[in-house]
Amino acid sequence: MAEKTIVFDAEGMILGRLASATADLLLKSARADRDDKVIIVNAEKAIVSGSKTSVFNKYQEKYKLNHARKGPFFPRMPDMILKRAVRGMLPYQSKSSGRRALRNLRVEIGCPSHLSGDLPDGHEHGDDSKIRKGVPERFVSLGDISQNLGAPSHRWTGGDQ
């Protein structure tokens, strides 16, 4: 069983399409008894379609359901929001294949140095031809949503905040 690592660059991709394709890929791999891994880089540059106010309001409502000790725990950081979106498309609570698939997912803010440029052996770029469609007229980046939720944006902008 040759295991491979698939790398997706989330820059300019719609969050739901990327999450759906990633979940499908991970689940097929887990059910075929392989441990193919998926790495998503530049999570803060993924986009959510819709007007800025409606998207911000939707994510604010989700975040306000949060209770520090009791949950449900909704993340503020862009990498964790994207991972949570993929998790929502996996049967991680009811099936072992869903849990295995979720373990094989890694989401990164920015692009790690070893994944920029040429990819190492065993890594390949994911086929994003079905995911990457035209950019909608109105959209918000995941980094802006996280900043609106109060996440420390200096992690992905590089500036002080």
pLDDT tens readout for residues 121-139: 888 888 888 888 888 889 9
- In sequence order, which residues have a C-beta less than 8 Å from that of residue 158 and are 6 or more positions away? none
Instruction: Report the run of H or E that residue 23 belongs to, with start and end.
Output: helix 15-31
Nearest Cα neighbor of 63 from 141, 155, 151 is 151
pLDDT tens readout for residues 48-96: 999 999 999 999 999 888 887 888 888 999 999 999 999 999 998 999 8
pTM of this structure: 0.90
Q: Which residues of 109-135 are buried (b: 16+ CB within 10 A; e: fewer)?
A: bbbeeebeeeeeeeeeebeeeebeeee
Flag whether pLDDT at 155 surpasses 90. no
Give the CA radius of gyration of the chain: 16
pLDDT tens readout for residues 32-44: 999 899 999 999 9
Evaluate whether the domain defined by 5-113+122-157 bears CATH number 3.90.1180.10: yes
